[in-house]
Copies of this chain bind each other. A is one copy, B any other.
Amino acid sequence: MVTEGVSRPGSGESRAQDSRDEILRAATDLFATRGFHETSMAEVARSAGVSKALIFWHFKNKEELFVAVLGKLLEPYVIDFAEESGALDEKSQLLKLIESYLQFVRENANSIRFLVAQILRDEAGHDSLSSQVLSLFEGYRSLVTELIARAQAKGICACNVPPPEAAGFLLAALNGLLIGRLFLGSGTTDLDTGGKMLQQWLFGDKLGFAQTPQFMNPDK
């Protein structure tokens, strides 16, 4: 009879799962910092505290381990934006969308870095990763497009370019802020300031910019 539950240390049922998780954790670390080709299975094994052969018992080959890592990395990306903003008006929804994008970038900078590097490498987009990320992005994009269209129809939107272009530009700006954060950690526009400027661009809100007074050209 199966009296064992789950996750008992050393219990028969969970031992395989434990080692598998540990391998996945180590592989995620190493792949994310060193990259795919620069990480050897021996390194993963050592870092996970298991033998190299055990990795090949869990995963058919290095490629399969890699896609498992990708899957694990992509998990936090699939949050349903539309879900969590039901009863808000268009402006609040857009602001919330921007804020959650920036928040997400803040929290997942490392894995984003890794995924970007990975996407840049596979060249042809034949990989599933590119298309996954792309469809994720497209969902976000179409959501923003529709929100802007409705906001414009209600007259609460200061910018008057067609919604698809506006949405594209909005996302481009957000991605640009992301890039700034990824490449040039400090010295660039920080995320919140960028978000505020997008808000100003979208709705014409006047916002206080209290920083860098040495540049407020006090001449004349």
Interface residues of A (CB under 8 A from B): 33-35, 37-38, 113-114, 116-117, 119-121, 123, 130, 133-134, 137-138, 141, 145, 149, 152-153, 161-166, 168-169, 171-180, 182-184, 187-189, 193-194, 197, 200-201, 209, 211-212, 215-217, 219-220
Given contacts A165-B209, A168-B194, A169-B189, whether A179 and B175 have CB atoms under 8 Å apart is: yes
The closest CB in chain B to the CB of A174 belongs to B176
**CB < 8 Å: which of B35, B152, B168 contacts A189?**
B168
14 interchain pairs, CB-CB under 8 A: A117-B120, A133-B183, A137-B184, A141-B188, A152-B217, A153-B217, A165-B193, A165-B209, A168-B189, A173-B176, A174-B176, A175-B180, A176-B177, A178-B179
User: Is the pair B179, A212 in contact by a Cβ cutoff of 8 Å?
Assistant: no
Q: Of all chain B residues, which has the CB nearest A114?
A: B120
Say whether A189 contacts B209, CB under 8 Å. Answer: no
Cβ–Cβ < 8 Å partners of A197 in chain B: 161, 165-166, 169
A196 to chain B, nearest CB (A): 9
Q: With contacts A117-B121, A187-B138, A188-B168 known, is A216 near B179, CB below 8 A? A: no
Provide the bound-state CA to CA distance between A180 and B167, in Å: 12
